[in-house]
Structure 1
Amino acid sequence: MIERITSDLKDVVGPTCEYSASIVTNGYLLTPDVARRLAACGVTSAQVTIDGSKSDHDSRRILHDGSPTYERILKNVKECADIIDISIRSNVDKTNIEAAQELLDYLELNGLMNKVHFYLAPVDDINQVCANDSHCFTVKEFSYEETEFYKRAIARGFKVQPFGGTNFGICCAVGINSYVVDPVGDLYKCWDDIGMKERRVGTIFEPPMLSKNMINWMAYEPDDPECQECFAFPMCMGGCPNHALNGEGKRCVSFRYDAEQKMLLSQMMNTAKRGAGQNEADA
């Protein structure tokens, strides 16, 4: 499917336009052969989602028959890291944040410390039906945990992404040409909405139409008074538009709550990179 879509897209943009793509995947089928085929399609990077430690991940992200997935996913990451740029996103909440350090142990033991990027993302009850929403961090709580986790990771030599979960500037979902296509061809503006039919903005099988949902997205303005007084507003532009449009309150970026610490993390990363570069030069 990706190969066919890529061919069609390249025909549309023509030979004078540079084409590239990225993929978000659970990593279970990301074998070296698949990675090479993706690279041939112009896919330059893959984000692989892992939910912390082996025990936590295999209790949450299993196959339909209950089989675990952790070891196979990380085996694929190890075998594909030299073929395609890989970023690991680890979903965390109050129950698995500490054990998530075990994932770093695995990456270090398998020589992946300097081959993959890594960032944390908070588990979010996006459709308000999660029975364990009390386990989810508030943004302020997550900001502290995120900073402390990254400090330890950087000290160990990992390439983390201190701003990995942050949209600097307004979310691309607000853009007129940004869509998410689900497996049955329905169109959405945000991937959090997939499966919620009432939030569709169209379908690939019908001509474009100016639906009510589409009008709401196109009319979105980050005009919340509190946001406009916040120092972080020029960077986050009001946070998550989807939360605002659906009456779910603001979804501020964690940077708002500990900007100084986040900037220090960035400095730590830059210092670590310079040190690594100097070591390579000396060698």
Structure 2
Amino acid sequence: MNTYSYLVSDKIQELILFPTEQCNFRCVYCYEDFKLKRMSPNIVQAIKNFMDNRAPKLNFLSLNWFGGEPLIAKDIVLEISNYANQLSRKYDDLSYSSGITTNGYLLSPSTFKELVEEGVTHYQISLDGPKNIHDLTRIKANGKGTFERIWNNLMSIKNSEYKNFQILLRIHLTKDNLPHMSDFMGELRDHFVGDPRFQILLKPVGKYGGPNDHKLNVINDKEEQIFIEQFKSMLYQNSTEVNDFKTDNVCYASRPNSIAIRSDGSLAKCTVALHDERNSIGNIEPDGTLNINKNRLSPWLRGLVTLDSETLECPKRMLP
């Protein structure tokens, strides 16, 4: 299957699921408002019904868990993942994969074991630098630090018997933490470089509409690549085992076979533009039918018509 066919194929279905939009963190750069609660049992059942309806015609089903912090609603993650697993066993042509974007605080060894056994094998976890820096920006709702718990969870996972998983460590960069990152690159190198189960993404923090955007000391576009290459050099040195993460040049929101289902059952294309009404494209019905406003949906897919690379990379840019 060529790239374009993959992007538009109705035999592929990606669901981005928000089991809750509550979070145990209050990161200083966060853009979410935490107004929505847990998925109700009715929404959970509607998602199962949707998967039931789609499964016989699918070759690939992907579940990606988002939030909030999805592990606050771990029971929902496990319930729907288990159901997707059952469907993949029922239909010979159906492959299933699952990933989760988590802050890592609740990713204990026992929780990791439960998730992996239900097919949740891809993880994205963010760190803001060494403990003294991270604990200033990725803080709990009660204001306490989070680094030690996350790091201990990562070490437990690294030392576990499991081989079939991938963890993307997203390392945030700001002008405030740059002076502290050189030593942290060495720590990351010592623990993760050379382990094929871990990848590293160096990512400058952006202003995405959060209440603290005016306070963020972000790196400008001209400097971004300079600092990234500088830290990559420290991270990998002369290693031939570069587990650097390569970003996809086509955003999930550009693809017709990708849809986000929020905790209240509303549908979206983008996980960043949660407060933009143009991103509210419909809702899921109790029987699993997706009730989609085609006028809201079509602008997100315009890159597949124009084949403009910038639009495909981020359809939110210049969204009509």
Cα distance, 1:30 vs structure 2: 0.7
Are the aligned partners of 1:53 and 1:96 in contact in 2 as well (CA < 8 Å)? no
Match of 1:18 in 2: 95
- Aligned with 1:242: secondary structure? coil
Match of 2:300 in 1: 217
Cα distance, 1:132 vs structure 2: 2.7
Are the aligned partners of 1:52 and 1:102 in contact in 2 as well (CA < 8 Å)? no
- Match for 2:113 among 36, 48, 62? 36
Measured at CA, do residues 142 and 191 of structure 1 come closer, stay the same or move farther in structure 2, by a change above 3 Å?
same
Is there any run of 5+ residues in structure 2 with no aligned partner, and where? Answer: 1-75
Partners of 2:241 and 2:132 lie apart in 1 by 24
Are the aligned partners of 1:47 and 1:87 in contact in 2 as well (CA < 8 Å)? yes
Partners of 1:214 and 1:55 lie apart in 2 by 43
Amino acid at match of 2:316: N
Partners of 2:146 and 2:241 lie apart in 1 by 24
C-alpha RMSD over aligned residues: 2.8
Match of 1:95 in 2: 176
Cα distance, 1:121 vs structure 2: 0.9
State the Cα deviation string for residues 178-203 of structure 1 (Å, max 9, x = none). 12233333321111123445521122
Measured at CA, do residues 60 and 173 of structure 1 come closer, stay the same or move farther in structure 2, by a change above 3 Å?
same
Are the aligned partners of 2:283 and 2:292 in contact in 1 as well (CA < 8 Å)? no
State the Cα deviation string for residues 44-66 of structure 1 (Å, max 9, x = none). 22111111222221111111111
Match of 1:155 in 2: 237
Are the aligned partners of 2:303 and 2:312 in contact in 1 as well (CA < 8 Å)? no
- Runs of 4+ more than 6 Å apart: none
Match of 2:257 in 1: 177
Partners of 1:74 and 1:156 lie apart in 2 by 26
Give the strand-richer structure, 1 or 2: 2
Partners of 1:218 and 1:72 lie apart in 2 by 40
- Aligned with 1:213: secondary structure? helix
- Aligned with 1:131: secondary structure? helix
Are the aligned partners of 1:104 and 1:153 in contact in 2 as well (CA < 8 Å)? yes
Partners of 1:217 and 1:107 lie apart in 2 by 37
Match of 1:189 in 2: 269
Q: Which has the higher contact order (CA 8 A, sep 6+)?
A: 2
Are the aligned partners of 1:180 and 1:189 in contact in 2 as well (CA < 8 Å)? yes
- The reply on whether 1:243 has 2:320 as its aligned counterpart is no
Q: How many residues align structurally?
A: 233
Give the helix-richer structure, 1 or 2: 1
Are the aligned partners of 2:254 and 2:315 in contact in 1 as well (CA < 8 Å)? yes
Cα distance, 1:240 vs structure 2: 1.6
Most deviating of 82-91 and 62-71: 82-91
Cα distance, 1:204 vs structure 2: 2.8
Match of 1:126 in 2: 208
Matches within 5 A, 1:44-59: 44-59=121-136
Are the aligned partners of 1:93 and 1:123 in contact in 2 as well (CA < 8 Å)? yes
State the Cα deviation string for residues 236-267 of structure 1 (Å, max 9, x = none). 67532212326xxxxxxxxxxxxxxxxxxxxx
Are the aligned partners of 2:169 and 2:199 in contact in 1 as well (CA < 8 Å)? yes
Match of 2:219 in 1: 137
Cα distance, 1:157 vs structure 2: 4.8
Partners of 1:34 and 1:18 lie apart in 2 by 23
Measured at CA, do residues 182 and 101 of structure 1 come closer, stay the same or move farther in structure 2, by a change above 3 Å?
farther
Measured at CA, do residues 47 and 18 of structure 1 come closer, stay the same or move farther in structure 2, by a change above 3 Å?
same
Partners of 1:56 and 1:27 lie apart in 2 by 17
Match of 2:248 in 1: 167
TM-score (norm 1): 0.72
- Aligned with 2:200: secondary structure? strand
Is there any run of 5+ residues in structure 1 with no aligned partner, and where? Answer: 247-283
Partners of 1:18 and 1:74 lie apart in 2 by 32
